[in-house]
Chains A and B, each alone.
Chain A
Amino acid sequence: MMEVIEAAGYYLPQGFEEHVKAFTTEVYQDREIAVHLKAPSVSGAMVEVLADHLKKEREKYLAHQPIERIIDVLDEASRRWLDKSYPYRELALKTIPVITGFSREVVEASIDAEMESSLREDIWRALRSEIKNPLYLDDFQYSPELDGYCRAFGPKLIVSFFSENIPGLPHLLFMRSALVKAACLGKVAAGEPIFAPLYLRTIEEIDPGMANCMAVLYWRGGEQEIEEAAFNQADAAILFGGVEACNSLTKRIPRGIRVLVHGHKLGFGVIGRKRLRHQGLEDLVAAVAYDCSMFDQQACLAPHGYYLEEGGEVSPQEFAQALSTAMAGMNEKMPRGRISPAEAAAINQLRGKYEFKELRGDDVLLVVSPHGTDWTVVYERDPGIFRPSPLNRALWIWGVDDIFRILPAIKPLFPFLQNAAVAIGDEREKEFIRRLGELGVTRITSPGKMLLPSMMWHHDGISPLASLLRWCDVEKKDEIGGMETRER
Chain B
Amino acid sequence: MSELPKEARDLDRGILAFIQKGADHHDIEEFNNLALRTFEFQYNHIPLYQRYCQRRGITPQELSSWDQIPPLPTDVFKSTELFTLPSHIARTFMTSGTTMPNEKGRVHYDEGGLRLMDATIFAAASAFLVPDGVKTLILIIAPPPGIAPHMVMAYGMDRLKDCFGLPQSHFLVGRKGFQVKDLVNELHTSEEKGIPVTICGGSFGFVNFFDYCRKKRLKFQLPRGSRCLDAGGFKGKSREVGRGEFLDYCEEFLMITRNFCINLLGMTEIASQFYDNTLRNFTRGVDAPSFKVNPPWTRTLVVNPETLEPLPPGEIGLLRHFDLANRGHICAIQTDDLGKMVEGGFEIYGRARESEAKGCSLTIDEMTRAMEE
Binding site for B on A (CB under 8 A): 339-342, 344-346, 348-353, 355-357, 359-360, 371-373
Q: Can you give 6 A-B contacts (C-beta < 8 A)?
A: A341-B338, A349-B353, A351-B73, A352-B73, A355-B52, A359-B48
On whether the beta carbons of A348 and B334 are closer than 8 Å, the reply is yes
A341 and B78 CA atoms in complex are apart in Å by: 21
Counting from the closest, the 9 A-B pairs by CB-CB distance are A352-B73, A345-B336, A344-B305, A341-B305, A342-B352, A349-B75, A372-B306, A356-B80, A345-B352
- A-contact bits for B63-95, CB 8 A (1 contact / 0 none): 000000000111110111010000000000000
- A-contact bits for B186-223, CB 8 A (1 contact / 0 none): 00000000000000000000000000000000000000
In-complex Cβ contact of B76 among A339, A352, A373 (8 A): A352
In the complex, which residues of chain A have a beta carbon less than 8 angstroms from the beta carbon of B353?
342, 345-346, 349
On whether the beta carbons of B305 and A356 are closer than 8 Å, the reply is no
Q: Which of B72, B82, B306 has the most CB of A within 10 A?
A: B306
| B34 CB–A CB distance under 8 Å | no
Q: How near does chain A come to B89, taking the closest CB pair, in angstroms? A: 18
A346 and B337 CA atoms in complex are apart in Å by: 11
On whether the beta carbons of A352 and B336 are closer than 8 Å, the reply is no
With CB as the reference atom, state the residue of chain B lying closest to A344.
Answer: B305
Given contacts A341-B318, A359-B52, A360-B48, contact A348 B305 (CB under 8 A): yes
In the complex, which residues of chain A have a beta carbon less than 8 angstroms from the beta carbon of B306?
339, 344, 372-373
In-complex Cβ contact of B73 among A342, A349, A372 (8 A): A349
Given contacts A341-B305, A357-B80, A373-B306, contact A349 B52 (CB under 8 A): no
- Identify whether the interface residues of A are mostly helix, strand, loop, or mixed: helix
In the complex, which residues of chain B have a beta carbon less than 8 angstroms from the beta carbon of A339?
306
A357 and B317 CA atoms in complex are apart in Å by: 26
In the complex, which residues of chain B have a beta carbon less than 8 angstroms from the beta carbon of A360?
48, 80
In the complex, which residues of chain A have a beta carbon less than 8 angstroms from the beta carbon of B76?
352-353, 356
A373 and B307 CA atoms in complex are apart in Å by: 7
A57 and B317 CA atoms in complex are apart in Å by: 51
Q: How near does chain B come to A358, taking the closest CB pair, in angstroms? A: 10
On whether the beta carbons of B334 and A352 are closer than 8 Å, the reply is yes
| B354 CB–A CB distance under 8 Å | yes
With CB as the reference atom, state the residue of chain B lying closest to A374.
Answer: B306
Given contacts A341-B352, A345-B336, A346-B336, contact A353 B75 (CB under 8 A): yes
A357 and B307 CA atoms in complex are apart in Å by: 21
A258 and B338 CA atoms in complex are apart in Å by: 43
On whether the beta carbons of A357 and B79 are closer than 8 Å, the reply is yes
In the complex, which residues of chain B have a beta carbon less than 8 angstroms from the beta carbon of A353?
73, 75-76, 78-80
A341-B317, A341-B338, A352-B76 given; 18 more Cβ-contact pairs under 8 Å: A340-B352, A341-B305, A342-B336, A345-B318, A348-B308, A348-B334, A349-B336, A350-B75, A351-B73, A352-B72, A353-B73, A353-B75, A353-B76, A353-B78, A353-B79, A356-B76, A357-B79, A359-B48
Q: How near does chain B come to A265, taking the closest CB pair, in angstroms? A: 17
| B9 CB–A CB distance under 8 Å | no
A161 and B206 CA atoms in complex are apart in Å by: 37
In the complex, which residues of chain B have a beta carbon less than 8 angstroms from the beta carbon of A359?
48, 51-52
On whether the beta carbons of B307 and A371 are closer than 8 Å, the reply is yes
A342 and B318 CA atoms in complex are apart in Å by: 9
Q: How near does chain A come to B258, taking the closest CB pair, in angstroms? A: 29
B342-373: which residues lie under 8 A (CB-CB) from chain A?
352-354
Q: How near does chain B come to A10, taking the closest CB pair, in angstroms? A: 29
In the complex, which residues of chain B have a beta carbon less than 8 angstroms from the beta carbon of A350?
75
In the complex, which residues of chain A have a beta carbon less than 8 angstroms from the beta carbon of B318?
341, 345
A350 and B76 CA atoms in complex are apart in Å by: 8
In the complex, which residues of chain A have a beta carbon less than 8 angstroms from the beta carbon of B308?
348
A359 and B54 CA atoms in complex are apart in Å by: 11
Q: Which of B72, B74, B308 has the most CB of A within 10 A?
A: B308
Given contacts A356-B52, A356-B79, contact A348 B73 (CB under 8 A): yes
On whether the beta carbons of B305 and A345 are closer than 8 Å, the reply is yes
Q: How near does chain B come to A104, taking the closest CB pair, in angstroms? A: 19
Q: Which of A350, A351, A353, A372 has the most CB of B within 10 A?
A: A353
A357 and B48 CA atoms in complex are apart in Å by: 9
In the complex, which residues of chain A have a beta carbon less than 8 angstroms from the beta carbon of B338?
341-342
In the complex, which residues of chain A have a beta carbon less than 8 angstroms from the beta carbon of B354?
342
Q: How near does chain A come to B102, taking the closest CB pair, in angstroms? A: 9
B275-309: which residues lie under 8 A (CB-CB) from chain A?
305-308
With CB as the reference atom, state the residue of chain A lying closest to B316.
Answer: A341
Q: How near does chain A come to B103, taking the closest CB pair, in angstroms? A: 9
In the complex, which residues of chain B have a beta carbon less than 8 angstroms from the beta carbon of A344?
305-306
In the complex, which residues of chain B have a beta carbon less than 8 angstroms from the beta carbon of A355?
52
In the complex, which residues of chain A have a beta carbon less than 8 angstroms from the beta carbon of B352?
340-342, 345-346
A372 and B317 CA atoms in complex are apart in Å by: 14
A353 and B73 CA atoms in complex are apart in Å by: 7
Q: How near does chain B come to A336, taking the closest CB pair, in angstroms? A: 10
Q: Which of A340, A346, A351, A356 has the most CB of B within 10 A?
A: A356
In the complex, which residues of chain A have a beta carbon less than 8 angstroms from the beta carbon of B75?
349-350, 352-353
Q: How near does chain B come to A361, taking the closest CB pair, in angstroms? A: 10
A370 and B305 CA atoms in complex are apart in Å by: 15
Q: How near does chain A come to B106, taking the closest CB pair, in angstroms? A: 13
Q: How near does chain A come to B1, taking the closest CB pair, in angstroms? A: 26
With CB as the reference atom, state the residue of chain B lying closest to A361.
Answer: B48
With CB as the reference atom, state the residue of chain A lying closest to B50.
Answer: A359
In the complex, which residues of chain A have a beta carbon less than 8 angstroms from the beta carbon of B80?
353, 356-357, 360
A372 and B305 CA atoms in complex are apart in Å by: 9
